[in-house]
Structure 1
Amino acid sequence: MKSMVQFLTSACLLMASGIAVQAVPQPNIIVIMADDLGYKDLGVYGCQDIPTPHLDKLANDGVRFTSGYVTWPMCGPSRAGFLTGKHQSKFGYYENVSAPFDPKQGLPKIETIASLLQKQGYVTGGVGKWHMGTTDDQHPNAMGFDDWFGFLGGGLMYFPLDHPSYKGRFTPIKRPLNMKYLQHTMPVIHNREPVEWNQYLTRELTDAGIRFLEKSSHEPFFLFMSYNAPHLDLEAPEETIAKFPPETMTKIPGVRPADRSIYAAMVWEMDQGIGQLLMKLDELSLTENTVVWFLSDNGGMRKTSDNRPLRGTKGAPHEGGIRVPMFVRWPGKTPAGKALDDPITSLDITATSVAMAGGDPKSAGLHGKDIRSYLTQQSEEPPHATLYWHTARSMDSQGVIREGDFKLIIGKHGLELYNLRDDLGETTNLAKNHPEKVQAMKARWMEWDKDKAPPLWKGDRNIQFADYDWLQGSPHYKATPK
């Protein structure tokens, strides 16, 4: 209804001016984000041991990016970049939220893709992992989401706490709380109220996404499907794990076949859930007017994922940390089965989605580009000449710049220059061979980085929560798991 009122108002003004008006329906927009998915862990990217038929079909029905990047190689800052459409270093978000009840940690008061689409008349929903803070001001409902079902931390156990597999795993708390306990036992909530759940988490989140589609099908909607899978812990239904015997798993250096087996089950469950979401779009006759994006929030984990031929994993400034599976289906607009090699980023997803809805990414101050003409191949001009990253202060690198085929990592212990066209695996450091190029690229990165914001907080992954006054009185402090 909000969207219709906006359209009719604009139409009347244009008609009064003598300008012809042709109704162009706003597309529904879905962004599906996986958590720690490896670059080569989907069939469409070359995976041999994990069948992902629904994601493969989605990619083949649209355009797939072979150089799709996120803004940071770890969960929280990467998600902050996508959700705001801005480089997170420009507003001080450098670390994962390590203390989920510390009011200093998380998103500041800022526009998000959800609030920007609300302004265009969209009903907005989110499902799954938030990881952007837990105060009232940081809650998804306060950040533009009309409807939220999921959890506020950075991880959650995949079964309810009374599941038989958890027997003896948790004991009553008689010592300071740690991050893993708090984040992985937080409640699942619908908006601001805890809810009961009684099945595998990935299935629970899929069901919530389907409910949102059913109740929002009569007006333009935005849905952020933020799956927890395949993030650790390694957990999946036994009957699903049985589909992937360890001896059938692809041999990946550093990955145990038994771990890969459970990981495969987690990815398969997510793919099945996405298939159900896409089938629901078909049932509701929404497919032809719904744009569906897919990406991972960062590269895959070292002990489970296959990022080959890329170097590095989650947490690294190399390609395996920041280059992710990414594709979009825009029915009637994007050429089917097209692989695009030019670099794009998650910031472009935000900017382009706002533009698709009728908004103006530039006036909203977004850092990504509206790449609609590139998606439809009306223009084959690469969207970006240069890409920049400011990586975590606690990591070995300070920043990354990519110009054309060349990529420079500006590290605390040296400089690394790679030609990604000839050396996608980043095996040969060319910094000593091209000193002038190194200095020129470093100077451009420093110019871009000079307006960074001071950190909103300093990360501490070994934090002891009982040291904080704000924790006292929290219902989570004295909580005793079943």
Structure 2
Amino acid sequence: MIKNLVGFILLSAIFLSLIGSSCAKNTKLSIPPNVVVIMADDLGYADVGYNGCKDIPTPHIDKLAESGAIFSSGYVSGPMCGPSRAGFITGRIQSSFGWYGNPGAPLDERQGLPATVKTVASYMQEQGYVTGGVGKWHMGTAPHQHPNKMGYDHWYGFLSGGHLYFPMDHPSYNGKYTATPKPWGMRDMHHTMPMIHNDEPIEWDQYLTHELTDLGVTFIEKHKDKPFFLFMSYNAPHEYMEAPEETMALFSPEDMTHIPGVKPDIRSIYAAMTYEFDKGVGALTETLQRLNLAENTIVWFLSDNGGMKRTSDNRPLRGAKWSSYEGGLRVPFVVSWPGHIEPGTVLDAPVTTLDIGATSVALAGGNLSKTNLDGADITPYFTGQSKDAPHEELFWRIGRNYKEQSGVLRVGDYKLIVQKEKVQLFNLKEDLAETNDLSQSQPERAQQMLGRWKELDQYSLPPSWENLPKGDGNKDEYQYKDYEWLKGSPHYRGNEK
């Protein structure tokens, strides 16, 4: 009861323009549209052609942008992988269920999504959709956190927060991952989880981005005759920095754009990874065309957070992944729906990844007033039925330390950053790069927004888990489990010696 009340208060207080006006303008479609969400991992704001990238060709992403609408102020719900994806997957502000950082030990059953949290995919199932996910899960690996228990009819990929880009026996690894270390490092644990389809391990023998694309294409082909919801959860171009040799040969370090803090040799590998990811976007959209599904499929494209400092170009934005500045939260964000969205549309009002879930459920025929989703149905906005901004204000709780008040509030053109009771205030319309702090020259506005942020932050719950203290992360109990889907991997408990 309390949980539902908190969800209702967040819904009404944080997004004042939600649901009511949007649903009234939206007629129920005779055939509900398919939904495909393509999410990159750590892709920089300026690392796509339509945002001015010169050293990495992204023709398929650019074509998607040209065919639909670009959200110039498209935001994620958190500046790092775990919180951002938790927000998207649930359609809720993740602090409302106590999610703040990344799950550290992937086999620690205490970490990840609480069993009580409902996902967007679950709501889509209720509307008769076949639901599928491909790639990175990162929501926990305990039985109650398995994607099949969280609304996904099919999950192809891995349940951890990252993965090697080649099979563990690939010659380039020189056997590093085939002999089980004692103990496993937590990073290596994430990256060596098995590839699975639901509870069954998958054999694969190609570059991971290619494999994930093939699995996504297969899902579309298999379920083309029924409304489907597909989350393409790529891990590219997230580290490790790996790409096929023939693709890396296309990107010489000497040809890379100079970006402060980014080494040309690292940038060249990142470019190859992004190029392969873009090819995957092309394969998915071409499949929709081939099967005559394009006009009845909404395709969303975005990154899960800002690009990393050492790999990406987030300019003209300030900051990068992990940051409360725009470079951590504002991402490449596109929606395409042929016949419904005017090609080449650019929309400047702020939207968030939470809106994808609410919009999908509404278009599927769901009643948003009977959900606890925190986003808005923004269909009228991107189809041109309404010019009204979907949100009057947006709230973020940011930071891995719950005791430390930190976050963001955006109201109109103004953005407040809260860090340990200190604030910064920016006018994003006049100062997108966040170089001119207005908190001293406009103290009244700053204090008013701080008061509002604190008011909304009252509904942030304590952490649903604590990461393992240093020194505890190598305990054997977090190295192995007896889950069926782990069979054949170095983390299956039966392999212990």
Instruction: Report how far residue 94 of structure 1 moved.
Output: 1.0
The Cα of 1:466 is off from its aligned counterpart by: 3.5
Q: Which ranges in structure 1 are unaligned for 5 or more consecutive residues?
A: 1-20
Distance across 2 between alignment mates of 1:461 and 1:383: 42
Alpha-carbon offset, residue 413 of structure 1: 6.3
**Cross-structure match for 1:293:** 300
Match of 1:99 in 2: 105
Pairs within 5 Å for 1:110-125: 110-125=117-132
Q: Structure 2: where are the runs of 5+ without partners?
A: 1-26, 483-489
Q: CA deviation at 1:473?
A: 5.7
- Determine if the alignment matches structure 1 residue 476 to structure 2 residue 491: yes
Are residue 410 (structure 1) and residue 425 (structure 2) matched? no
For 1:18, the equivalent position in structure 2 comes to none
Superposed CA deviations along residues 244-293 of structure 1, whole A, max 9, x for unmatched, are: 11111100000001111000000000110111111111111111111101
**Percent identity among equivalent residues?**
56
| Counterparts in 2 of 1:67 and 1:163: CA distance versus 1, 3 Å | same
1:36 pairs with one of 20, 39, 42: 42
Identify the range of structure 1 (356-365 vs 469-478) with the bigger mean alpha-carbon deviation: 469-478
The match for 1:444 among 445, 452, 471 is 452
The farther-off stretch of 471-480 and 244-253 is 471-480
One-letter amino acid of the structure 2 residue matched with residue 28 of structure 1: N
Contact 2:78–2:329, Cα closer than 8 Å, also in 1: yes
1:212–1:353 Cα change, 3 Å? same
Q: Is the 8 A contact 1:29 1:290 kept in 2?
A: yes
For the 8 Å contact 1:317–1:397, the answer to whether it is kept is: no
Report if the CA contact (8 A) 1:147-1:191 is conserved: yes
Contact 2:82/2:102 (8 A) holds in 1: yes
RMSD: 2.0
User: What is the CA–CA distance in structure 1 between the aligned matches of 2:33 and 2:372, rounded to whole Å?
Assistant: 22
Superposition deviation, residue 108 in structure 1: 1.0
Alignment correspondent of 2:155: 148
Tell me, in whole angstroms, the C-alpha distance in 2 between the residues paired with 1:233 and 1:52: 21
Q: Which AA in structure 1 matches 2:435?
A: T
Contact 2:424 2:439 (8 Å CA) reproduced: yes
Partner in structure 2 of residue 253 of structure 1: 260
Contact 1:178 1:464 in 2 (8 A): no
Equivalent residue in structure 1 for 2:435, among 424, 427, 440: 427
Match of 1:77 in 2: 83
Counterpart for residue 330 of structure 2: 323
Q: 1:161 to 1:243 in 2, by over 3 A?
A: same
The structural deviation recorded for 1:478 is: 7.0
TM-score when scaled to structure 2?
0.89
How far residue 469 of structure 1 moved from its aligned partner, in angstroms, is 3.8
Are the structure 2 counterparts of residues 452 and 473 from structure 1 closer, same or farther at C-alpha, using a change threshold of 3 Å?
A: closer
Q: Do the aligned partners of 2:480 and 2:493 also contact (CA within 8 Å) in 1?
A: no
SS of 2:229's partner is strand
Counterpart position of 2:6 = none
Select between 282-291 and 462-471 the one with higher mean Cα deviation. Answer: 462-471
- Say if 1:467 and 1:122 are closer, same or farther in 2 by CA, change over 3 A: same
CA distance in 1, matches of 2:306, 2:457: 23
Aligned partner (choices 285, 289, 314) of residue 282 of structure 1: 289
Q: Distance in 2 between matches of 1:23 and 1:472?
A: 48
Deviation at 1:170, TM superposition (A): 4.0
- 3-state DSSP class of the match of 2:368? coil
In structure 2, C-alpha distance between the alignment counterparts of 1:188 and 1:337, rounded to whole Å: 38
Closer/same/farther in 2, CA of residues 171 and 187 from structure 1, 3 Å limit = closer
TM-score of the superposed pair, with normalisation by structure 1: 0.92
Contact 2:169-2:177 within 8 A present in 1 as well? no
Matches within 5 A, 1:222-233: 222-233=229-240
Task: Give per-residue Cα distances to partners, 1:401-456, cap 9 Å, x unaligned.
Answer: 01111111110262111111111111121111111111100110111110211111
For residues 357 and 180 of structure 2, the distance between their equivalents in structure 1, rounded to whole angstroms, comes to 42
TM superposition shift of 1:392:
1.7
Q: How many residues align?
A: 461
